[in-house]
Structure formats: C-alpha cells, structure tokens
Amino acid sequence: ILNVEQSPQSLHVQEGDSTNFTCSFPSSNFYALHWYRWETAKSPEALFVMTLNGDEKKKGRISATLNTKEGYSYLYIKGSQPEDSATYLCAPSNFGNEKLTFGTGTRLTIIP
C-alpha cells in the first residue's frame, strides 16, 4: 500500500488569488501520478497524468509539476475562480500495478 499525503487538507482562497498544494508519495518503483478534480455532486475528473521526472503539465489556469526522485508533485491554480472550488486528489501508481492509491485530497474553496 502506497503512503500518499496531500497538504493542506483544506484551503480557502480569495477569488483572483493564486494557490498551490502538494502531493507526496513514495519515490521507489514510481510509474505514474494522476491528478483529479472532484466537484461536489459530480464525478471525479482527470486533470493530468504525469510520468516523467521534471515534467510540467498545464490546462488553462491549472498546472502541475512532478519530482519522482523525491516523491512529490505540486498543483498550481492561477487567478482562482469560484468554479475551481472542488477537492483535488492525487493518485500515484507503481510499475506493474494497475491500482491507483488516492490521497485524501485538498479541499479548495474559492471565496468570491
């Protein structure tokens, strides 16, 4: 079982401000790191699948970086909007194992 930690557990951010949060995971036998956004009453939605050390991916105002050697990933949101309010989940997987192990998430609330 992978030990996945996300911090902070919850976050309140003023609309227009930028923010970031962290996902930590074991670096050994790393294969992939998934980021999902889960809005209340909706299905989790994939944001990024990251595989390479040093990788940076971007989707609109959201971007993510990956450090597989030290076992962490950052998710950044630039110019937060109310629609960014959601729980953000990360999930690493190990080579040869189809299972994703989800962290408990960072619950983000944007204050208008």
Residue 10's DSSP bridge partners are 107
Q: Around Cβ 28, how many Cβ atoms within 10 Å? A: 10
* Shortest distance in whole angstroms from residue 52 CB to other proteins: 11
Q: Is 108 in the site for other proteins (CB under 8 A)?
A: no
Cβ contact 73:22 at 8 Å: yes
Tell me whether residue 107 or residue 110 sits nearer to other proteins (CB atom).
107
Q: Where along the sequence are the contacts to other proteins (CB under 8 A)? A: 4, 31-32, 34, 36, 42-46, 49, 51, 89, 91, 93, 96-105
